[in-house]
Amino acid sequence: MGEQWQELVATLNTQVFERLKRTFIGKSEIVDLLGVSLVAGENLFILGPPGTAKSALVNELARLIEGKSFEYLLTRFTEPNELFGPFDISKLREGELITNTEGMLPEASLVFLDELLNANSAILNGLLMVLNERVFRRGKERWKLPTLMVVGASNHLPQDDALQALFDRFLLRVHCDNVPEEQLTDVLEAGWRHELKLTQRQQAKTVSVDDIRILQSQLSNLDFSKVRAEYSALVRRLRYAGISVSDRRAVKLQRLIGASAILSGRLTVELSDLWVLRYIWDAEEEQEVLAGIVNEVTQKHSTTPGAHPRSRSTERVDEEALARDLDILKKQLSRSSIPEADLSYLKDRIGILAARCEWIVDETQRHTMRSGVQGLWQLVGEAP
Question: Binning pLDDT at 50, 70 and 90, where does residue 33 land?
Answer: very high
Could you tell me which residue, 93 or 288, shows the higher pLDDT? 288
Q: Which of 26-30, 153-157, 302-306, 351-355 is predicted least confidently?
A: 351-355
Question: Does the pLDDT of residue 92 top 70, yes or no?
Answer: no
Could you tell me which residue, 182 or 171, shows the higher pLDDT? 171
Is the separation of the CB atoms in 209 and 12 below 8 Å? no
User: Which one, of 269, 276, 290, lies nearest residue 355 by Cα?
Assistant: 290
Question: Binning pLDDT at 50, 70 and 90, where does residue 380 land?
Answer: confident
Question: Does the pLDDT of residue 213 top 90, yes or no?
Answer: yes
pLDDT tens digits, 258-283: 999 999 999 999 999 999 999 999 99
Residues 236-245: what's their mean pLDDT?
Answer: 89
User: Which one, of 346, 87, 160, lies nearest residue 241 by Cα?
Assistant: 346
Residue 335 has a pLDDT of 75
Residue 182 has a pLDDT of 67
Residue 199 has a pLDDT of 46
Residue 91 has a pLDDT of 64
Residue 285 has a pLDDT of 84
The Cα–Cα gap between 92 and 99 comes to 9
Question: Does the pLDDT of residue 233 top 90, yes or no?
Answer: yes
Question: Does the pLDDT of residue 194 top 90, yes or no?
Answer: no
Residues 333-355: what's their mean pLDDT?
Answer: 75
Could you tell me which residue, 192 or 322, shows the higher pLDDT? 322
pTM across the whole model: 0.80
Domains of the chain: 4-196 (3.40.50.300), 222-308 (no CATH), 319-379 (no CATH)
Residue 159 has a pLDDT of 86
Question: Does the pLDDT of residue 148 top 90, yes or no?
Answer: yes
- CB hemisphere CA count around 134 (13 angstroms): 15
Residue 323 has a pLDDT of 84
pLDDT tens digits, 74-85: 999 999 999 998
User: How does the average pLDDT of the chain come out, rounded?
Assistant: 86
pLDDT tens digits, 41-54: 999 999 998 888 88
Residue 336 has a pLDDT of 67
pLDDT tens digits, 96-115: 777 888 899 999 999 999 99
Long-range contact pairs involving 278-282 (C-beta distance under 8 Å, separation at least 24): 278/313, 279/33, 279/172, 279/173, 279/174, 280/171, 280/172, 280/173, 280/243, 280/245, 280/249, 280/253, 281/173, 281/243, 282/157, 282/167, 282/173, 282/243, 282/244
Question: Does the pLDDT of residue 314 top 60, yes or no?
Answer: no
The Cα–Cα gap between 56 and 255 comes to 26
